[in-house]
Amino acid sequence: MTGSFHTPPGTRSGNADDAGIDAGGRGAGGDTSSWEKAADGRLVHPDTGMLVPDYADAPVLEVSQLQKHFPIKAGMIFQKQVGAVKAVDGVSLKLWQGETLGVVGESGCGKSTLGRSILQLHRPTGGSVKFAGTELTTMSDNQLRPIRREIQMVFQDPYASLNPRMTVGNIIAEPLVIHKLGDKDQRLARVRELLDTVGLNPAFTNRYPHEFSGGQRQRIGIARALALQPRVIIADEPVSALDVSIQAQVLNLLDDLQQTFNLSYIFIAHDLAVVKHTSDRIAVMYLGKLVELADSELLYANPQHPYTQALLSSIPVADPEVARRKDRIVLQGDLPSPQDPPSGCPFHTRCWKAQQICSQQMPPLETVADKHEVACWFPGPEGAPGTITPAKIVQQVKAERAARKAAEQAGAQQQPGSSGTDGGPGRAGPFTPGP
């Protein structure tokens, strides 16, 4: 994960932006050849000391052309397949050890199905998933059992995902029991250790889920996911059911755990505001397909796909000056059905740039810059007609502030008494009422 909410200012290599939009990303994207390598294979960021993924290594997870089509059946007695919901339709991505890959897109675009298909909870209808070089899609459930220790999931809803009739101790110990690890005492010791790791009181093992708040329940879900010491965690909207203040705590916890245990995350969210704080790279999904995949700094600074630009334009920003000028790109029409997706580029029914080829041929995901891939026939940074992209507004606001500051300094030097004889440098000039 990138600079967390509690990362000291200035440690994020993407330069926390003083105009209110921070770039995100921890910047292992440039030349890292001189960076020190830690014992676990990650690189040590020279400015922050954070451990970051080494993209020169082999990825821990490699997904190629993954498909999950749910059959639609009809008929009273003999059910026949009459169609399919193309929930995931040809997704390719890689995940490196110690990396966080954010996956964003509108509700129903296939994010959860992608996560479940990677984990083989849904068996894919096509494509390949390799974990540490081993193909998972052809394995039987028995063969998958040891792999399941390595890839775990944290679920969206901490209220629905914990069995209300089980104690927290039994919930966290369940994966250990399933995998026949340790005896009863060893398991209890491990549960206590895990509760402590996620910031909960180790004495809570006999309590039930309803005795905990939403944030605490999500910590329990995270403890359960950690029980088997996985290498990869697929976090399916892990904070969207939580209050904003609690969200930051859970995100910080995930960040700390990643640094400590060298975890790789696929972090699913439905808006870019959450993933921008957490991800090294971001994949944008639309109707079962990836439309843009980039280093998170690049994605915020230079989005190339019209859909990404629309998503970015809807992120709230803290800086009032930027917020006032920001244009929101309002997409026309609803998300089409994955049962009957549009021909060619699936976004063409809502795209302001669409031309004839867009409705005829699906654009491939192509590299437009280092660590930046886009699936669009006409990629570019320009945004919708009449709108200015958030990154451009930030640039403008910064330039204007710098110009104002320079003008103020020049004005101050011309004020009588500012030459340093009877007023020290930096002393304020005479009070002038504002406009």
Ligand X SMILES: Nc1ncnc2c1ncn2[C@@H]1O[C@H](COP(=O)(O)OP(=O)(O)OP(=O)(O)O)[C@@H](O)[C@H]1O
Q: Which residues bind ligand X (CB under 6 A)?
A: 70, 85, 87, 105, 107-113, 270, 338
CA atoms of 161 and 411, how far apart (whole Å): 62
The candidate with the shortest Cα–Cα distance to 345, out of 385, 353, 127, is 353
- Phi-psi region for residue 24, left (φ > 0), alpha (ψ -120 to 50) or beta? left
Residue 85 interface partner, choices Mg ion, ligand X, ligand SF4, none, CB cut-off 5-8 Å depending on type: ligand X
Interaction of residue 112 with Mg ion, rule CB under 5 A:
yes
Asked if 358 interacts with ligand SF4 (CB under 6 A), we say yes
Among the residue ranges 59-67, 105-113, 141-149, 188-196, the one whose residues contact Mg ion (CB under 5 A) = 105-113
Binding mask 58-97 for Mg ion (x = CB under 5 A): ----------------------------------------
Residue 3's binding partner, choosing from ligand SF4, Mg ion, ligand X, none, with beta-carbon cut-off 5 to 8 A by kind? none
Q: Which is nearer to ligand X, 7 or 125 (CB)?
A: 125
Q: Is 105 in the site for ligand SF4 (CB under 6 A)?
A: no
Q: Using alpha carbons, list the distances in angstroms from residue 196 to 24, 222, 239, 411.
A: 29, 12, 20, 58
Closest approach, Cβ 338 to Mg ion, in A, equals: 13
Q: Is residue 152 near Mg ion by the rule CB under 5 A? A: no
Q: Phi and psi for 432 in degrees, rounded to 5?
A: -120, 130
How far lies 38's CA from each of 42, 53, 389, in Å? Answer: 5, 10, 39
Choose which of 253, 266, 351, 365 interacts with ligand SF4 (CB under 6 A): 351
- 209 near 162, Cβ under 8 Å? yes
Which residue, 26 or 270, is less far from ligand X as judged by CB? 270
Q: Which stretch binds Mg ion (CB under 5 A): 106-114, 244-252, 348-356, 393-401?
A: 106-114
Q: Choose between 96 and 155: whose C-beta lies nearer to Mg ion.
A: 155
Tell me the residue ranges of DSSP E strands in 217-371: 232-236, 264-269, 281-286, 289-295, 366-369
Binding segment (CB under 6 A) for ligand SF4, from list 13-21, 260-268, 325-333, 343-351: 343-351
- Window contacting ligand SF4 (CB under 6 A); options: 15-23, 215-223, 374-382, 412-420: 374-382
What contacts 287, CB < 8 A, 6 or more positions away?
86, 89, 109, 110, 335, 336, 338, 341, 342, 346, 347
Task: Report whether 201 contacts 119 (CB < 8 A).
Answer: no
- How far apart, in whole angstroms, are the C-alpha atoms of residue 426 and residue 110? 57
Task: Give the separation between CA 266 and CA 233, rounded to whole angstroms.
Answer: 6
- State how far the Cα of 333 lies from the Cα of 346, in Å rounded to an integer: 13
Q: Which residues of 12-22 are buried (b: 16+ CB within 10 A; e: fewer)?
A: bbbeebebbbb
CB of 111 to Mg ion, least distance (A): 5
117 binds Mg ion (CB under 5 A): no
Interface stretch with ligand SF4, choices 15-23, 129-137, 176-184, 375-383 (CB under 6 A): 375-383
| Residues that bind ligand SF4 in the complex, under the rule CB under 6 A | 305-306, 345, 347-348, 351, 353-354, 358, 363, 376-378
